[in-house]
C-alpha cells in the first residue's frame, strides 16, 4: 500500500491529525529508505520499481510537510528531520515486532547499525574480540564502536547502547548491572616473583591529570609517592602494555587478568590493609528505553549481557598475599 499524500505544500509542518493519519506502511517506507541508502536498494527491499519508490517517498514528505532526504548522486542523505523522527519510527517498528514475532523471529529482524559507547580499555580487551561471535549470530548488524573517554549522551541519541562504570540516572534510560570487579595490583610475571614489602619497592604506572579523580587514581595518590611513578598516561592499553613489558606495577580491574600477560603482585603482610582499600567497579549496560525492543538493539543488548556475565570470574582474590 502506498502512502496517502495530503494536500500540503513542502516545508509546512504537518498537523497532529496529519501525523496521526500516518500508517505503518508510511513508517516502514521511511525506515527502508534510510537503511537502504539509495532508491534502488530501497525499491528492491519493498518489491517495487524505483519510480514508485520515489513517488511514495515524495508523498510521505508532503504528508509530513518536511523533507526527509536529500537526493544526491551517491544516494539518499538523511536530513535533520529524518534524524529527529528516526527514534519514534524505530519505536513503532519495535511495538509492531512485539506483536508479530517470536524468539526466532528476532534474529531475522535484527539488522542495521548499532552505535555502542565503551571505555577504551574495555573496547580493546573485551568488546572488539567478541565481535566475530556477534557477526556470526547476527550477520546483518553493523557495529559503530565509540571507544573514547568522552561520555556520550544516550538521551540525545549520541549512542544506542553504552557500558558504564557509574550507573546513570534518567527516566528515559534502561539499565542492568553486568558485573562487579575489584581493582588489583598487577605486574609482569618476572616482577611478580619478588614479594613487595612496601608500595615503593617497584615503580608504578598511573593515570594523567585528566583522570585523577578516578577511585584507583585516588588510591595511588594516597599510597604511592609521585617520585615512584615511572609512567603517567590515561591511555589504558598503553598502561597494560608497559606493565607487561616489565616497567612496573599497575592497577587493573580483575577481569583484565584473564586477557593480559600480567600476574598479581605478591604482597607482604604489611601491605594487605591498604590493599583492602582498593576500589571496586560496577559495570552497567545502558540503553534508551524507547529503543530497547528495536530488534537490532535488543540483539546487541542480549549479546553484551551474555558476553560479560558469562565471562565473570568467580572466587578470585582481590590480592595475592605470599
Domain that holds residue 239: 180-281+316-321
| Domain annotation covers residue 91 | yes
| Domain annotation covers residue 20 | yes
Residue 5: per-residue pLDDT = 39
186 with 277, same domain: the answer is yes
CATH number at residue 85: 1.10.10.10
216 pLDDT band (50/70/90 cuts)? very high
| Domain annotation covers residue 245 | yes
d(CA 56, CA 26): 8
Looking at 61, 83, 100, the residue that finishes a domain is 100
All residues at 6 or more sequence positions from 318 whose CB lies less than 8 Å from its CB, including other chains: 182, 184, 254, 275, 276, 278
| Domain annotation covers residue 270 | yes
More confident residue, 166 or 195: 195
Facing residues of 142 across strands? 113
- Does 231 score more than 70 pLDDT? yes
| Domain annotation covers residue 162 | no
| Domain annotation covers residue 6 | no
Residue 19: per-residue pLDDT = 46
Structural contact between residues 56 and 2, judged by C-beta atoms closer than 8 angstroms: yes
Residue with cell 538523511: 78
Looking at 35, 68, 100, the residue that finishes a domain is 100
pTM: 0.60
All residues at 6 or more sequence positions from 114 whose CB lies less than 8 Å from its CB, including other chains: 141, 142, 143, 144, 160, 161, 296, 297, 300
- Number of helices (H), then strands (E), belonging to the chain: the values are 12, 13
Facing residues of 226 across strands? none
The tens digit of pLDDT for each residue in 51-65 reads 999 999 998 888 888
Exposed / middle / buried, residue 225 (Cβ in 10 Å: 0-12, 13-18, 19+): exposed
Residue 13: per-residue pLDDT = 44
CATH number at residue 206: 3.40.190.290
Pairing of strands 280-288, 204-206: unpaired
14 pLDDT band (50/70/90 cuts)? very low
DSSP per position, 76-89? EEE-HHHHHHHHHH
- Does 248 score more than 90 pLDDT? yes
| Domain annotation covers residue 165 | no
d(CA 126, CA 122): 5
| Domain annotation covers residue 44 | yes
Looking at 100, 118, 133, the residue that finishes a domain is 100
Q: How many CB atoms lie within 10 A of CB 204?
A: 24
Residue with cell 527491499: 45
Residue with cell 536530513: 79
3 pLDDT band (50/70/90 cuts)? very low
The count of structural domains within the chain is 2
Residue 85: per-residue pLDDT = 87
d(CA 107, CA 292): 15
Amino acid at each position: 500500500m502506498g502512502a496517502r499524500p495530503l494536500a500540503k505544500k513542502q516545508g509546512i509542518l504537518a498537523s497532529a491529525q496529519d501525523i496521526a493519519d500516518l500508517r505503518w506502511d508510511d513508517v516502514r517506507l521511511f525506515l527502508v529508505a534510510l537503511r537502504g541508502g539509495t532508491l534502488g536498494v530501497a525499491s528492491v527491499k519493498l518489491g517495487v520499481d524505483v519510480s514508485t519508490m520515489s513517488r511514495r517517498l515524495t508523498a510521505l514528505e508532503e504528508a509530513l510537510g518536511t523533507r526527509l532526504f536529500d537526493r544526491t548522486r551517491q544516494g539518499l542523505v538523511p536530513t535533520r528531520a529524518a534524524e529527529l523522527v528516526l527514534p519514534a519510527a524505530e519505536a513503532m517498528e519495535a511495538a509492531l515486532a512485539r506483536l508479530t514475532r517470536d524468539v526466532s523471529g528476532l534474529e531475522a529482524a535484527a539488522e542495521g547499525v548499532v552505535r555502542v559507547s565503551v571505555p577504551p580499555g574495555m573496547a580493546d580487551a573485551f568488546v572488539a574480540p567478541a565481535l566475530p561471535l556477534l557477526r556470526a549470530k547476527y550477520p546483518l548488524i553493523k557495529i559503530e564502536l565509540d571507544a573514547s573517554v568522552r561520555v556520550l549522551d544516550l538521551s540525545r541519541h549520541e549512542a544506542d547502547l553504552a557500558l558504564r562504570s557509574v550507573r546513570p540516572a534518567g527516566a528515559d534510560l534502561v539499565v542492568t548491572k553486568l558485573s562487579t570487579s575489584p581493582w588489583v595490583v598487577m605486574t609482569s610475571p618476572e616482577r611478580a616473583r619478588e614479594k613487595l614489602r612496601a608500595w615503593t619497592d617497584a615503580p608504578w604506572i598511573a593515570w594523567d591529570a585528566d583522570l585523577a579523580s578516578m577511585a584507583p587514581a585516588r588510591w595511588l595518590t594516597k599510597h604511592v609517592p609521585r617520585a615512584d611513578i615511572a609512567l603517567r598516561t590515561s591511555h589504558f592499553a598503553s598502561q597494560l602494555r608497559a606493565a607487561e613489558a616489565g616497567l612496573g606495577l599497575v592497577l587493573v580491574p580483575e577481569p583484565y587478568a584473564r586477557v593480559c600477560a600480567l600476574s598479581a603482585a605478591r604482597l607482604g603482610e604489611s601491605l594487605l590493609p591498604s590493599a583492602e582499600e582498593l576500589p571496586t567497579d560496577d559495570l552497567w549496560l545502558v540503553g534508551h528505553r524507547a529503543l530497547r525492543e528495536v530488534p537490532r538493539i535488543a540483539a546487541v543488548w542480549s549479546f553484551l549481557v551474555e558476553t560479560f556475565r558469562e565471562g565473570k570470574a568467580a572466587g578470585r582474590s582481590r590480592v595475592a598475599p605470599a
